Amino acid sequence: MSIQLKKAQRKRVKLKVGLAAPSGGGKTASSLILGYGIVKGEHPAWSDEQVWEKIAIIDTENGSGELYSGVKIGNTLIGTYNAISLEPPFEPSKCIESISACKEAGMEICIIDSLSHFWSGQGGLLEKHGNVAKRTNNSYTAWREVTPQYDAMIDSILQTDMHVICTMRSKTAYVQDKDQNGKTTVTKKGMDPIIRDGAEYEFSLFMDLDTEHQAFVSKDRTSILDGQYFVITPDIGKRLAKWLDGAVAADEPEKVILSKATKVEPNIADVLMSVKNAISGKISEGISKDVITETVKGVAGTANYNKIIDIEVAKNVFDKINSLEVDNV
C-alpha cells in the first residue's frame, strides 16, 4: 500500500441527481425532460428517437411512469422511452437488480421513480425495520439488519457507470398566505424528502420542486446551478452535459508528485486467525492438542487463544506454535 500526492483532476463522471417534489410537483415529467437534455447534450448528433431509446424509468408508481410517452410538455415532446414496472413489496434488492438491468441494456439514463417507495413503501426499509424491531423488541439494534440493505441500494446508484436520476416524494405542509388584496390563500409546500435523513448529500445534484414545477437547487457539485430557481427544460440537462464534457477522461493518467510506501500493521484479529491456522497445521502434522494447549497457556496464561487481547502476546503464541516439531514433543 502507498500514499500518493498527485495533481487534482476533475474526472469525467456519471451524474447522480436527486429530485424531490410533493404530489403534483411534476417530478416524473421533469426527470424525463432532464434526462433527455443530458443525453442530447452528450450526443448532439443523435436523433430524438435515438436519445429516448437510451432512457429508462424504474416505475414504482403503479404504471404512472409510462404515461408520458408521446406527450408534449412545454416545448418538449416526450418520445418512446423504456420502463421497468415494479410492484410491492418494494425491497431494495429489486432496485439494485433493475439498475443492473438498465446498465446491461446499454441505457444512458436510469430514472428511479420513486426512491421513496424503497424507504417507506410496502415492503420497504421502514417496514422491514418495524418487523425486526417487533421481533427483537429493540428498535435501535433493528437498524443493524436494515442499514446494510439501504447502503447496498445507495452504492448501486452511486457506483453504477450510468447517469441516475432518483425522484423522491416530499413531505407536504399547507401554508396560509395573504395575496396583495388581503385574501387568504392556502398553498401546498414540499418539505423534506421521504428517504433516510442525509440521503440528499449522496447526490452530485439535488433539486426540490414545488407544485408550480419550479425547481430549487439545494446542492450542486457542478456549481453551475447552485442556489438557482428554474423550470426544468432540456437546456438544463445540456448545461450539465457541457460541464461533464470539460472533465478529463476517467482513464487519463494521474500526475503523481510523490508516492510513499506505507507499512500495514496486522490487527489482533488477523494475528489470532494466523494462530488458528498455525494450530490446524500442527495438528495435521501429528502434534497432539494437549501439547498445543499447554504451549498456548505457557505463553499467554490462558489455553483459549481467542481471549488474548495483547497483539504482542498473540504474535509470541504464533511464533511458539510454529516452532513446535513432532520430534521435539
Tell me whether residue 209 is in a domain: yes
The pLDDT of residue 188: 46
Residues 87 and 39 reside in one and the same domain: yes
The pLDDT of residue 13: 87
Mean pLDDT of 11-38: 93
The pLDDT of residue 165: 98
State yes or no: pLDDT of 313 exceeds 50: yes
The pLDDT tens digits for 124-173 are 999 999 999 999 999 888 999 899 999 999 999 999 999 999 999 998 65
The pLDDT tens digits for 205-218 are 999 999 889 999 99
Handedness of CA 15, 18, 23, 25 (dihedral sign): negative
Average pLDDT, the chain: 88
Tell me whether residue 263 is in a domain: no
Residues 172 and 80 reside in one and the same domain: yes
Residues 221 and 101 reside in one and the same domain: yes
Residues 23 and 81 reside in one and the same domain: yes
Q: Which set of grid coordinates corresponds to residue 9? A: 483532476
Domain of 73, CATH number, reads 3.40.50.300
The pLDDT of residue 7: 73
The pLDDT of residue 1: 58
Residues 169 and 290 reside in one and the same domain: no
Single out the residue of 200, 241, 242, 238 nearest to residue 220, CA to CA: 200
Element of type H or E holding 169? strand 163-178
State yes or no: pLDDT of 242 exceeds 90: yes
Residues 282 and 238 reside in one and the same domain: no
The pLDDT tens digits for 266-301 are 788 888 889 999 898 888 888 888 889 999 999 999
Residues 291 and 180 reside in one and the same domain: no
Give the number of domains in the chain.
Answer: 2
The pLDDT of residue 257: 65
Tell me whether residue 240 is in a domain: yes
Tell me whether residue 250 is in a domain: no
Tell me whether residue 261 is in a domain: no
Residues 274 and 235 reside in one and the same domain: no
CA distance 192 to 119: 14
Tell me whether residue 252 is in a domain: no
Mean pLDDT of 101-128: 97
Residues 225 and 272 reside in one and the same domain: no
The pLDDT tens digits for 175-194 are 556 666 666 655 545 468 99
Residues 87 and 181 reside in one and the same domain: yes
| 136 three-class SS | helix
- The CA-atom distances, in angstroms, between 122 and each of 13, 60, 84, 97, 119 are 33, 11, 18, 18, 9
Tell me whether residue 277 is in a domain: yes
Q: At what angle do helices 92-104 and 143-159 cross, to 10 degrees?
A: 20
- What is the residue type of 182? G
Residues 93 and 38 reside in one and the same domain: yes
The pLDDT of residue 251: 60
Tell me whether residue 101 is in a domain: yes
Mean pLDDT of 260-265: 69
Residue span of the structural domain in which 295 resides? 268-328
Residues 79 and 110 reside in one and the same domain: yes
The pLDDT tens digits for 27-54 are 999 999 999 999 999 999 999 999 999 9
